Amino acid sequence: MIDGTWRQAEASGSFTAFNPATGEALPEQYPISSLADVELALRSALQAVKQVRQVPVDAIAHFLEAFAGAIEARREELVEMAVQETGLPRAPRLRDVELPRTTDQLRQAAAVVRERSWCQATIDTTHNIRAKYSPVVVLGPGNFPFAFNSIAGGDFAAALAVGNPVIAKAHPGHPGTSRLLAEAAFEALQRSSLPSGMVQMLYHMSQEDGLTLVSHPLVGATAFVGSRAAGLRLKQAAEGAGKPIYVEMSSINPVVVLPHALEERLPQIVNEFCTSALSGTGQFCTNPGVVIMLAGPLSERFVEQAANAFQATPPGLLLQKDAPNKTGKDGNIHAAVSCQGHHRRTPAERTWVSI
């Protein structure tokens, strides 16, 4: 979706999404946009930067509210598509939790647009290097198809609320879900007075073109949620061009457990740790990757109980088709849930345990 129209992509190739529950490719093909599509979207967004200055402030709020309503009208179709593309539970996760969270974010952003207390008039013609509006690139993750989707999530809502055109890059893991959200956005855009280039979406692009996009002279900023490797590459490209970029990446998230805490509530800490580690089949950025504690009998009990809890947990679905330890005997994609990387030292040198 570029400049308010659904157009044939200047594609360098195509891709398909996969059903994580079966490992099978879903039927629809999606384009991998070339740099020509990127440039066209940027020119359209730049034009929108000029046009949005003449639009009443309430127009953005009206769009966000209309967008939330259009999403709710497509709720069942959106949930079904997201289940097919991610394998996440229909209820309560997608239908009852994440989708309502998404529409609530949009409505909260609309309320903030109208409330305006965040606007502070600052006149500094000599030293001010800030520009009020610029195209913002948003790239979302694979594990939140609604709430962090690049065309509907929190980063999208925040950028648009303050008047910035958004160029959303869909995640290749759930392009169909992103398409349905973009259709809802298109419907809301058609009913608003916003410029046609305020909301645009590209399905996919090469890594090289993605780095070009976030470092492009016309881009004002980028928001990214995803893997550490991709986030660091994008950060390097954007900052090398003097462009601000916000990256929310995966992390090791070390946890320090003190002896007295284990004495007081060891079973509860084990339960809290395992629950956090297994959330989203271990694919949340908040996953506690390293536990540090003093050597001793209580630490050994912690390790033993955590390992037992992991091994007793039924396998879950991984989002990526090529994820390690993915295939069970029935061909499904599974998470290998086990106590891996359990480092042991001799009693004399054992000062920490990591899981």
> Looking at the annotation, which residues are catalytic?
248, 285
Tokens of 180: 């349905």
